[in-house]
Amino acid sequence: MKILTVAEMAIREMVRRRAVLALLLALPLAFYLVRRGDQVGQSIRFLLIGLAWAVSTAALFASGTSRPIEPRLRLSGYASHHLYLGRLAAMWLLGLVVAAPFFALVAIDHGDQVRLGAVALAMLFAVTVAAPFGLLIGAIVPRELEGTLLLLVVVGVQMMIDPADALTKVTPFWSSREIGTYAVDHTGDEYLVRGLVHGLIFTILATAVVALLSTLRLRVRMRAATSA
Amino acid sequence: MDNDRWLWTLGQEMARHQLAPDAVRHVVAEAAAHLRDSGQPALRAFGTPEGYAAAVAESLAARYGRPARPAPGRVRLSARGITKRYRRRTILRSVDLTVRAGEVAAVVGANGAGKSTFLRICAGLLAPDSGEVTLDGRLGYCPQDAGTYDFLLPDEQFVLIGAGRGLDRERSKQIGRAGAASLQWRPAAGVQTRHLSGGTRQKLNLVMASMGEPDVLLLDEPYQGFDRGTYLDFWQHVWRWRDEGRAVVVVTHLLSQLDQVDQVLDLTPASEGAAA
């Protein structure tokens, strides 16, 4: 119940920022269109990165907006896990809503050339990973400007790194890239499997670190009296 | 201002001064009779209703003293030997505060004396370098600022806090709206918090802190931006909470109400921070 209330309010807070919503949609769209004339694979891979970037940025800002209010909520009966799980659920839902029209776009634009189910899965994993990753950056770097720049560095590296480089596997959105390759290049199942495994592990790790940092930050530093 | 309006305002102001309803009725009836007999406008006869109410309250307090209150109850908040340093500067040095159920403590001090820091330590949000805080009961905390979401409606803020307190949505809204009304504020439908004035936002902040019947209320200058009437209403709330058996700690820099609190903790560095 408490997690749902936090999630509901986080969504309400976000959807009332209409300009933010427009930009959330504009970012993946721009990434998709800029390579659309090039080749199908690249445009969809860029779309996935744009989607992940948009969702992680939204999560980063949601984290920053809530940071000054969370202590009060903590003292008003919420445990720290209610707060970060509620916010995470909200960002996942928001991400799926943002992803849905892009899936429709790909289906209409290139539905006959790609594995549509795998495209949906790649989008799902882009959103799944991006939400806790944005919260993680927000938890590590409390100031929004620094957080945004850090996110920019990570996404920049993700976009420019040579796919053959071993370092690519530690980038956060490698999972959706692998699943995306499976979807657009019709590769073998190994791309799909390692994408899924990477995405799950990264999501669990990012969520665990967010949980740890939130619990530490929001711990109540006092002794409760033993009632007579 | 016509005489009826003046008399109504007088009644409100006297209630804010915690005068008994019988006394309020009596004074208003006497003033009304005088106005009727003299045919004078109220403002010319008595001055402003606020000023007249204050004079009456002072006169009655001088004649009868303050009404007896129940004795304070168990210790709800105990802060012992609180010391806090930022870098090399000691903000708080071995500060003690004990507040019992049914008591109001005011924390005063110059800017930078560590009032908000002390309150955050009392709330458990900040660890002292040494010393210990012990809390008995449920805590309500009103931060100085940044305690609300900009894009949520007041009702949604009530629901958010209420859910933490274990209240359902309707009950949360009901309690929140009642609290708002008691501070002379009726939240307009569809107006987000970011569009509220500073004073109204502080009312929201205060209502949120008092939801869920906390045993201990920690209020960090919660009246910033309040107009005079609301400021008096705020203190009336504080005294009502005290009479209900809550322990209340108010950080304040306004000294006018300090004679009506049970203890004053002065954090001004020159003093020893002794409780009055």
The pLDDT of residue B63 is 65
Quick one: closest CA in B to A1, which residue? Answer: B163
Q: Given phi > 0 = left and psi -120 to 50 = alpha, else beta, which region is A227?
A: beta
pLDDT band at A228 (very low <50, low <70, confident <90, very high): very low
The pLDDT of residue B261 is 85
Task: Assess B123–A contact: CB distance below 8 Å, yes or no.
Answer: yes
Task: Assess B124–A contact: CB distance below 8 Å, yes or no.
Answer: yes
pLDDT tens-digit map of A29-79: 999 998 787 777 889 999 999 999 999 999 999 999 999 999 999 999 999
Low-confidence stretches of chain B (pLDDT beneath 70): 16, 18, 61-70, 146, 254-259, 270-276
pLDDT tens-digit map of A9-24: 999 999 999 888 898 8
The pLDDT of residue B276 is 40
Tell me which chain B residues have a C-beta less than 8 angstroms from the C-beta of A85.
Answer: none
CA distances from B115 to A116, A209, B52, B122 (A): 60, 33, 34, 11
The answer to whether A96 and A223 are in contact (CB under 8 A) is no
Tell me which chain B residues have a C-beta less than 8 angstroms from the C-beta of A69.
Answer: 146-149
Domain ranges across chain B: 3-64, 75-266
Q: Which of B133, B137, B160 has the CB atom closest to A223's CB atom?
A: B133
The pLDDT of residue B89 is 87
pLDDT tens-digit map of A118-136: 999 999 999 999 999 999 9
Interchain CB distance below 8 Å, A69 and B134: no
Name the residue among A75, A66, A53 with its Cα closest to residue A155: A53
pLDDT tens-digit map of A186-219: 898 999 999 999 999 999 999 999 999 999 999 9
Interchain CB distance below 8 Å, A71 and B74: no
The pLDDT of residue A40 is 79
Interchain CB distance below 8 Å, B134 and A13: no
The pLDDT of residue B274 is 43
Domain ranges across chain A: 2-217
The pLDDT of residue A158 is 86
Interchain CB distance below 8 Å, A1 and B163: yes
The pLDDT of residue B44 is 84
Mean pLDDT, rounded, for A98-127: 93
Interchain CB distance below 8 Å, B163 and A221: no
Tell me which chain B residues have a C-beta less than 8 angstroms from the C-beta of A73.
Answer: 160-161, 164
What ipTM is given for this predicted complex?
Answer: 0.89
The pLDDT of residue B275 is 43
The pLDDT of residue B76 is 95
Q: Which CATH class is domain B75-266?
A: alpha beta
Quick one: closest CA in B to A78, which residue? Answer: B164
The pLDDT of residue B273 is 43
